[in-house]
Structure 1
Amino acid sequence: MPTAPSPETLTHLVLAGGLLIGLGLGAVTQLTRFCTMGALADLFSYGGVARLLMWLLAVAVGTAGIQGLLAAGWLDGTRTLAWSPRLQWLSCAVGGGLFGFGMVLASGCPQRNLVRAGTGSLRAWVTLATVALTAQMTLRGLLALPRTRWLDSQAIELARPQDLGTLLATVLPLSAPALRLVLCVLLLLATAALLWRHRQALQPSQLAGGAAVGALLVAALAVTGHVGYLAEHPETLEPAFLGTLSRRPEALTFIAPMAGALDLLTLWTDQSTRLSFGVSMALGVVLGGGLCAWRQGQWRLEGFADAADLRRHLGGAVLMGFGGVTALGCSIGQGVSGLALQSAGAVLAVAGLVAGSWLAVRRQLQQADCAAG
């Protein structure tokens, strides 16, 4: 009878899975220009919907895949942060708004800046370093106190998980799994209808890119929620999720991994600081984006245009670092993964993110008009 893999082996598999998923995500987003900030900026600037539909397709594919993982028993949704019974409504809304405003100033979210870092953008490296430092300060440093005292304290303690299916099951005569499936089907139908309606505006590569991001999200949850799961860890005799920073199943998310990467760089000799799935995935995104740019002949060093450009990116990075931690995720962590998990907190965070992005784009358009006038 074959012996079960050791915890060390499973941890290495999770880390390798994170690197491969990151490589795929970096390559896909570089090739197809998948970008949540770009999707909203296109919509608010000139009514463009192509990249917004890519985002919607990623969420729809991710939602369908997650339902499959739940049905197969490969994922326990109640163990994810997205389904926590503590609904931090104010943190999600305010953090999402700050993050949305910041990602417009910084020309993209952390995931997009990771891709650009791989393509030679020194501007992206400065932005990422600032995001990581601010995220660390918001998690455990100077900014943690105002976050926990003024925002996280305003929360609703639910008796059940905060996924939309469970919440709706309290008022509708259907079970939570049935309602999650209904929501998934409705989302798939709505996505298909919108894709058909705007089919002339979409390239096949954009459809493939959106679907690929959704599939990579499902792969991340399968790796961290199934491959890395131990029903009984030999040292603690308790269930354990190996290789993740949160000790939970993790999907695509980049704010906490930025802080984790900073920990590794500054506390490398500390035996308690270890490589995690998220950090491994972030590294993969840099490498995947860089390899694609090199193959396309698009790799080149890029800096800031001027001092004003530097100020915008630094300010945007600070807002993203604080807002992303406060909202419990970034435009990928909440805007794709959280929505695909049908999290109520993700809905609030994305509402804030959209509002913050709209304000920032409107501000930039007004500044451009003033400069032209």
Structure 2
Amino acid sequence: MAGALAAAPPRAHLPGLLLGVVGTALAVLGLGDAALLPLLAVAMLLGAMFVVLDYGFTGGFRRLLVDRDGRTLGASFIVPAVAALAILPIGTLVEGFGRFVAPIGPPLVVGAALFGIGMQIASGCGSGTLVAMGQGSRRMWVALPFFCLGGVLGSLVLPAALRLPNLGAVDLPAVFGTWGGLAVTEGLLLAGALLVLRGARPQRDKVLAGLAVGVVVVLLFLVSGMPWGITMGLTLWGGQAVQALGLDLTRFEFWAGGWTREALEGPLLALHGSLTNIGLVLGALLAAAAQGRLRHGTPIGWRGAAGAAIGGLLMGVGARLSFGCNVGAFLGGASSGSLHGFVWVLAAMPGCWVGIRLRPLFGLR
């Protein structure tokens, strides 16, 4: 009991902790640009909400494939349904805002399957890794650097993979018009949820949580100009680390020019996804501390560490090949009206099935 109590900071000192963490973060991050502060604030809010609402994506796949219970995963379709109401029309019609649209082909399918394996043996996806890190999870502190490294490895093969035969991008607003594309998008999300639920009624708390998260995802889009993405920020962290070790990534096609080279050679926070990742960790840290739910005292063991490392590496490679994770590919793609977001979920399922059966090797049930 004493050890459990010692793991959580005294609530009486919580205001000081909040101010200290935020102040230190701002100083370390060098946020001299006041325009970045709303982005950091919304990302921190999102990280806190994931902890308070106990929200995540990985467990929903597992409950569907193991217990045949689709209520959790079915409720997660609410998030892109809410986000699409703003992201699709604003990203299509308003200058200065963008959407995530990507081609459907072998990289997407293979990458999503690899990501599915990785998130099950690491026991966390992109957002789950960062949120659990903020909560103090030792497993995710192991998974993160390998996730970043995997993103770099995936970036090296992505240009060649994109030259394989593919169906191209299927942009629903381009096919059906802005409002027709929105209607088709919402219809596909509803059909996906009903298919997963198979007649069951989703849990009320998960539905409400999905609605709340969807609203904050819209807010993040409004302050950043793009849908929420995680994995490119992690790939950039890995890329800058590799550069610092002396390997010139600009010799490789992915990093040779354009915005990726600018991000690689520029400040770490030049990419909004990098800043939102940091905000997600900080928000989760503050929420976990406030609730006495820090997890840094939970042991991991060598099998858990191995699963985290291998899972992180697979998630990094898979995310780069498939243009993101549950957040960037599914949530960002579907809410943008891009068909690749829906294909990503279907392709991730077999990977999750394999990953679930590998979990006992790494000490997971």
Shift of 1:154: 1.1
Q: Which residue identity is paired with 1:66?
A: I
Shift of 1:196: 12
Q: Which residue identity is paired with 1:356?
A: G
Aligned partner (choices 83, 86, 96) of residue 101 of structure 2: 83
Residue in 2 aligned with 1:162?
170
Contact 2:149 2:238 in 1 (8 A): yes
- 1:12 partner SS: coil
CA 1:157 to 1:68, structure 2 compared with 1: closer, same or farther past 3 Å? closer
Q: Residues of 2 paired with 1:162 and 1:50: CA distance?
A: 29
Q: Residues of 2 paired with 1:67 and 1:136: CA distance?
A: 29
- 1:48 partner SS: coil
Structure 1: stretches of 5+ with no match in the other structure: 1-9, 170-174, 226-249
Contact 2:81 2:186 in 1 (8 A): no
Aligned partner (choices 325, 331, 337) of residue 330 of structure 1: 325
Shift of 1:254: 1.3
**1:112-152 alpha-carbon deviations (Å, 9 max, x no partner):** 0111111111221110111112212332xxxx1x4433x22
Shift of 1:298: 1.0
Q: Residues of 1 paired with 2:243 and 2:63: CA distance?
A: 41
Contact 1:304 1:310 in 2 (8 A): no
CA 1:71 to 1:133, structure 2 compared with 1: closer, same or farther past 3 Å? closer
Shift of 1:183: 1.1
- Number of residue-to-residue matches in the alignment: 313
Contact 2:87 2:227 in 1 (8 A): no
CA 1:336 to 1:190, structure 2 compared with 1: closer, same or farther past 3 Å? same
Considering fraction of residues, name the structure with more helix: 2
Q: Residues of 2 paired with 1:282 and 1:321: CA distance?
A: 15
Residue in 2 aligned with 1:19?
40
Aligned partner (choices 66, 70, 81) of residue 45 of structure 1: 66
Residue in 2 aligned with 1:179?
180
**1:13-42 alpha-carbon deviations (Å, 9 max, x no partner):** 553233122212211111222222111011
Percent identity, aligned pairs only, is: 25
Q: Residues of 1 paired with 2:233 and 2:181: CA distance?
A: 29
Q: Residues of 2 paired with 1:75 and 1:196: CA distance?
A: 40
Contact 1:101 1:316 in 2 (8 A): yes
Q: How does 1:1-373 map to 2 (within 5 A)?
A: 12=33, 14-70=35-91, 73=94, 77=98, 80=99, 82-83=100-101, 87-139=103-155, 144=156, 146-149=157-160, 151-156=161-166, 162-166=170-174, 169=175, 175-187=176-188, 198-199=200-201, 202-204=203-205, 206-225=206-225, 250-262=226-238, 272-275=266-269, 276-302=271-297, 304-364=299-359
- 1:83 partner SS: coil
Shift of 1:178: 3.9
- 2:326 partner SS: coil
Of residues 176-185 and 122-131 in structure 1, the stretch that sits farther from structure 2 once superposed is 176-185
CA 1:254 to 1:102, structure 2 compared with 1: closer, same or farther past 3 Å? same
CA 1:14 to 1:106, structure 2 compared with 1: closer, same or farther past 3 Å? farther
Q: Residues of 2 paired with 1:131 and 1:271: CA distance?
A: 20
Q: Residues of 2 paired with 1:63 and 1:292: CA distance?
A: 27
CA 1:343 to 1:322, structure 2 compared with 1: closer, same or farther past 3 Å? same
Contact 2:116 2:348 in 1 (8 A): yes
Q: What is the TM-score normalised by the length of structure 2? A: 0.75
CA 1:54 to 1:18, structure 2 compared with 1: closer, same or farther past 3 Å? farther
Q: State the 4+ residue runs in structure 1 displaced beyond 6 angstroms.
A: 191-197, 265-268
Q: Residues of 2 paired with 1:189 and 1:346: CA distance?
A: 14
Structure 2: stretches of 5+ with no match in the other structure: 1-30, 245-263
